[in-house]
Structure 1
Amino acid sequence: MTLAGVTTAAATLSSVTSAGGDDYEEITARGQVIRIGRGETYENKLFDLTNGNSVLLLVEGGNSVIRNVGFRGLHRGDGFMISISAASGDVLIENVYLGDGSTKEGESFVHGPGAVFYHRNASCDVTFRYCNVQGWPNNGFYCSNTASGGSVRFEHCYGKNNGVSTYRVAGGRDAIVDCVAYNDDTDYGPGWGGYVEDAGRPVWVWPGNTVRIDDSNVASGSYPYAMVLRGNATARMTGGAIRGTVQGGGLNRSNVSSDPDLSVPEGVPTSPEEAAAGSKGTTADTDAPTDAEDDDGPLEHLILFDGDPAGVTRYEFEVSGSVEKSTDEGASIDDEDVIDGEFVHGVVADWKDAFRFSGDLEQLTVDGPATVFVDGEVVDPTDYGVDRPHVLEVTSRDGPASFEVTVDGEIELESDENPADETTAVSGTTVQRSITDGSETFRFSGALTDVTVIDGEAEISLDGEPIDPDDYGDHELLPHALVIDGTDADGPSTYSFETSGAVVTSTYDDASVDDAVIEDGVVRGVVDDERTAYWFDGEIESFRLFGRASVDVQYNAREQ
């Protein structure tokens, strides 16, 4: 690629004009490279490509932003328009129009020029939001280099008639959310000459970890496949629709139809001028605070839970201000982690979870081997609040009562008293107790998983609110058993699987109870030199194992 000049995002560019009163700069393309460094924001630009020249936006630093940028006219260069090489941090690219397409004239790339490229040396976390990319011969979003580090996340993006692929992804934290990708049956990109055989895969997943595809719409058109899963690549598609053949067997579907909505998602710019003016799609103005910042100031603090492959860690914390999930320091965004006002709880194993917050860290409880960092410094959870923040109170009604309580953290009787006519059995996570009258209080961490009144009647409250013990009962007897045996493996093994029915932990085949995470039929855990097992019904829809543990499935195990 021959480039005539190099400048930085902060430099004053030539050919700046007023654009009908809209607040953006119009820039004539002349082969310039515009370097965007760490912490910089580059926004409200309209590039005119009609003279045949090109331009490159080169993202070299993390915590940077490209926002409100439009490219007008058919591109006739030989390279990508946006290239990302930042080694760390977050990058946001939003409200960008690359919908006028490109020609096949440049042959320095095998398939001609492309729109966006995630460089193999990059290891940052990029979010693409409200982007319109159409008619590019060499991929719309060429982002499969995340298999070796970093991540990409697409939100409310639109791609059409791109060669090779529209969304090319690979990393385990990559996600495509509320997006559209398809090929139609006419012209595949302005200037292509109608080369239908060059039409690409709407979604192309390269080998790596499982890629998420949520509420998105995909269609193949004349290209043979709507989605291609290369080698052992896998994807989990939830919601949305797909029309066309899927190549490769690693796609797991949930509530996916065959009638996609291929219209442009709301908020995506449909012209370069619209993008440059920022009239649609942007989620925040550079100088304006977010809603959270309006209420409590900027989210200036970062708490990071660095998981350990040796086991699952459950955590919960509370702040005095606002809190939101973050991809800082390579953390993942997990739907299973819950933010309820100022209170957060979640789980982490061989990955990282991070949150940005304002105010003070009021309470922190951690059960497991993860290391916790606050603003880059390792902290001791016992320095924040109490170890067991939840309160469970049991009150006998009309005479003696016996009960059993189980949590997925740690539980203890708040009182030190232990009358002789009352028995208590505590095994870390379980309390068995009899009371003659009055009430007793327990403090615990984690979640309340089981409450059983064995004899008599009792009233039970959790954190001051009455609860129904029937809502925390035992699971039904499930027929099938899955055993993951790490006794002969060399080191720990990480696993995840999904069932079409219910799943619970089990002591089948002398297994120990694993510290696994179970959410909506999806299980994640770690097994070292022990055996762990699960009861389940339905089918195992997906299974991934990293390590040398052995796996055995016994259908109708209770009948054997």
Structure 2
Amino acid sequence: MAQNPRTSETDTTPTTGRSDGLSRRNYVRSVAAAAAAVTSLGAAGTVAAQGDYEVIEAAGQSLTVADGETWENKLIDMTTGGDISITTQGSDWTIRNIGFKGKNVSGAGTATFAISDTGGSSTVENVYLGDGSDGRNGRSTGHGQTAFWVDPKHSGHVDLRNVNIQGFADNAVYGSSPGSNGGGTIHIDSCFAANCRVSHFRLATEGSKVTNSSVLVDEEGYEGRGIWAWAPGTIEIEDCQISMNGNHTAVVAGANGQGTDVVLRNTDYDQAAGISETAGSTVRLEGDSGTDPLAFIPAGTPTSPEEAATGGN
């Protein structure tokens, strides 16, 4: 799987860079109160036992989680200044209990995870990417660091549960690519994304949805869209809190001159940031939806690298 051929989906609206101010990330955390199953395609890095998990020092590795495999209980040490990328192959794979410690300052502009399922169902759960990345673009990609990128050939289903993504210079979950190719679905459930650039949750295919999750953009970090729906849709958003504090747009439907449909159900969004319907798109509000959001880290979602690596949430 090629890493991040993202130029096929251009952004229709530029986003701002980083806003300055007092960090709330530690506050949010407190309120919310090697690689044995992979094949290394690059430098091995250092792998060390640490209680119930392994520590892997980021050193430019490219790791693969293959068909039917489980990759779990790892703490990735990003304080080395190096990059690491994890790619999935085939179907019925599982990634769980993975914590990234330290900001990605490699400037590689890759995706930390490049995922797809080829016709079955796979799972990502209990992952901490809350330390973010710096704002540099990779020289070869022209993009900043992405947390999760979904390959256009994705044709199956992937569940993302209890994932914490904060402060990434590109999308938190870039899941719109299969909309123009493989048609696979993504279900983001009980996840938290904050202060990322471009967008936080980005989906395109019928059956893809965001549930029981929160998006926060506050005074610290990048100011990307809350949830961005691409064609063909329909995209479902249910029981979510989208707190933008007036930054960018809470829900955007449509991109690149192509419309889509969104169903927003029992969800609160920031009225000042609002909803955007472009290229004939529609956003239909159902149930008890309102404009008084309170973003929070869902129960069971890790708030530190160590908590994720041990599965102790």
Q: Shorter chain as normaliser: what TM range?
A: 0.7 to 0.9
1:542 aligned residue: none
Q: 2:82 aligns with which of 28, 45, 53?
A: 53
Matched residue, 1:348: none
Aligned match of 1:122: 154
1:237 and 2:237 matched: no
Equivalent residue, structure 2, for 1:84: 115
CA distance in 2, matches of 1:93, 1:253: 29
Name the SS for the 1:275 alignment partner.
helix
Matched, 1:132 2:164: yes
Distance in structure 2 (CA, Å) of the matches to 1:86 and 1:259? 36
Q: Is 1:268 matched with 2:296?
A: no
Q: Distance in 2 between matches of 1:7 and 1:130?
A: 21
- 1:273 and 1:7 map into 2 onto residues whose CA distance is 16
Q: Any idea what SS the aligned residue of 1:56 has?
A: strand
**Cα offset, 1:167, TM superposition:** 0.2
Moved beyond 6 Å, runs of 4+: none
Query: Contact between 1:201 and 1:226, CA under 8 Å: does it hold in 2?
Result: yes
User: Per-residue CA shift, 1:76-112, capped at 9, x if unaligned?
Assistant: 2321100014422111000000110001223344441
Q: Quick one: which of 225, 229, 252 aligns to 1:201?
A: 225
After TM superposition, give the deviation of residue 203 of structure 1 in Å. Answer: 0.4
Map of 2:63 onto structure 1: 34
Shift of 1:7: 7.8
Q: CA deviation at 1:146?
A: 2.8
Per-residue deviation at 1:143?
0.3
Moved more, 62-71 or 221-230: 221-230
> In the alignment, is residue 176 of structure 1 matched against residue 203 of structure 2?
no
- Report the residue type matching 1:150 in the other structure: G
SS of the equivalent of 1:206 reads: strand
- The CA distance in 1 between the partners of 2:301 and 2:35, in whole Å, is 28
Structure 2 letter corresponding to 1:201: R
What is the DSSP-based 3-state SS (H/G/I as helix, E as strand, rest coil) of the residue aligned with 2:122? strand
TM-score normalised by length of structure 1: 0.45
Deviation at 1:236?
0.5
Q: What SS class does the counterpart of residue 146 from structure 1 fall into? A: helix
Give the C-alpha shift of residue 177 in structure 1: 0.6
Deviation at 1:227, TM superposition (A): 1.1
Which secondary structure does the structure 1 equivalent of 2:205 belong to? coil
What TM-score comes out, normalization by structure 2 length? 0.80
Q: Percent identity?
A: 31
- Name the residue aligned to 1:15: 46
Query: 8 Å contact 1:120–1:145 — kept in the other structure?
Result: yes
Letter in 2 for 1:188: G
1:449-528 pair list within 5 angstroms:
none
How far apart are residue 223 of structure 1 and its match?
Answer: 2.5
Paired amino acid for 2:267: G
Counterpart-to-counterpart distance in 1, 2:248 and 2:74: 37
Matched to 1:233, the amino acid is T
What secondary structure, in the 3-state scheme, does the structure 1 residue paired with 2:250 have?
A: strand
Deviations 1:357-376 (A, max 9, x none): xxxxxxxxxxxxxxxxxxxx
Identify the residue that residue 154 of structure 1 maps to in structure 2: 188
Query: Aligned partners of 1:18 and 1:213: how far apart in 2?
Result: 40
Gapped runs of 5+ residues in structure 2?
4-33
User: Cα deviations across residues 248-278 of structure 1 (Å, max 9, x unaligned)?
Assistant: 0511111102111211111110111110000
Task: Show CA shifts across 1:502-535 (max 9, x none).
Answer: xxxxxxxxxxxxxxxxxxxxxxxxxxxxxxxxxx
Matching of residues 510-549 of structure 1 within 5 Å: none
Structure with max Cα Rg:
1
Structure 2 match to 1:450: none
- C-alpha distance in 2 between matches for 1:102 and 1:118: 19
Number of residue pairs matched by the alignment: 265
Counterpart residue number, 1:312: none
* Residue ranges of structure 1 left out of the alignment (5+ in a row): 190-198, 281-560
Aligned-partner SS, 1:139: coil
Cα contact 1:76–1:102 (8 A) shared by 2: yes
CA contact (8 A) 1:8 1:34 kept: no
With over 3 angstroms needed to count, the CA separation of the structure-2 counterparts of 1:204 and 1:40, relative to structure 1, is same
Cα 1:109–1:245 shift into 2, 3 Å? farther
Alpha-carbon spacing, 1:154–1:85, altered in 2? closer, same or farther (3 Å): closer
Residues 140 and 159, structure 1, Cα contact 8 Å, conserved in 2? yes
Write the mapping of 1:389-400 to structure 2, written as runs, cut at 5 A.
none
Structure 1 residue 220, shift from structure 2 partner:
2.3
Q: 1:163 to 1:23 in 2, by over 3 A?
A: same
RMSD: 2.1
Quote the residue 2:72 is aligned against.
43
Which residue identity lines up with residue 163 of structure 2 in the other structure? C
Residue 96 of structure 1: which of 127, 130, 136 is its match?
127
2:174/2:201 contact within 8 Å kept: yes
Aligned partners of 1:8 and 1:36 also within 8 Å: no
Equivalents in 2 of 1:267, 1:208: separation in Å? 32
| CA distance 1:11–1:233, change in 2 (3 Å) | closer
